[in-house]
Structure 1
């Protein structure tokens, strides 16, 4: 399973709100469409973001798991509601599971491979989430 680092507050908005699109300047590689990925909160805040919330205290940690369901280009950003940016590739996300306890990890640019320890800690939480009432 791969991970994707996303700056806060965007990673938190994916994990705990309704953000179901990730805006990127590059097209999603076809091999990642349909893939389950870890959502990693980067070590830095996106200072241009206008959304703030309690999730801002989590940095350099995996905060959720999601499935990338597609990718499309948008000139005006309106296709994906308030989360879509203009002149960007929109990577659509589904089946998002927020982790109860963020898992500390060092991120990287692009898709990256988490350590076995990080992956195991995430998988334990996801298994618990799926079996709890």
Structure 2
């Protein structure tokens, strides 16, 4: 695949995630909870949203231990991950991970890679297609990232 095809962005999408959840994904949180299912599978840019984290969420023991010592960047792409599945746990059954929420759709994220330098950019709801210049900046930091 040529550099121009890679920067075309048809093989990757962005996902905006509020803090501290975006940083938790970089530190090992493997599911992202969403109200609706997603059909997209493949690489996603992990975009930390602009909203300031709620103090009560930051005090949650699972969150606090996961983000300890990490900066909570906002309004920037902070990493990439491969979205491999989207499911709901059957009602009344155990949740798939300690991060999963009841009655939510769980986006399963693997192959998470953190960017050394967050790339500032605005985000959107739902999966969004990254602009070529944004993707180029990410590929400078992760030159082996491929579809």
List runs of 5+ in structure 2 lacking aligned partners.
1-11
User: Which residue of 2 is the match for residue 64 of structure 1?
Assistant: 79
What are the superposed Cα offsets for residues 53-92 of structure 1, whole Å, 9 maximum, x if unpaired? 3445300000111111111112468433211111111110
Task: Describe the shift of the 1:76–1:93 C-alpha distance in structure 2 as closer, same or farther (beyond 3 A).
Answer: farther
Runs of 5+ in structure 1 lacking a partner?
Answer: none
Determine the C-alpha separation between the residues in 2 that align with 1:76 and 1:104. Answer: 41
Q: How many residues align?
A: 126
Q: Is 1:104–2:120 an aligned residue pair? A: yes
TM-score (norm 1): 0.84
C-alpha separation between the residues in 2 aligned to 1:18 and 1:92? 12
Report the counterpart of residue 7 of structure 1 in structure 2: 18
Which of 1 and 2 has greater Rg?
2
Q: What secondary structure sits across from 2:78 in the alignment? A: strand
Q: Distance in 2 between matches of 1:109 and 1:9?
A: 17
Aligned-residue RMSD, C-alpha: 2.1
Of residues 50, 53, 56 in structure 2, which corresponds to 1:43?
Answer: 50
Please identify, of 37-46 and 94-103, the stretch whose mean Cα deviation from structure 2 is larger.
Answer: 37-46
Instruction: Check if 1:95 corresponds to 2:111.
Output: yes
TM-score (norm 2): 0.76
Higher strand share: 1
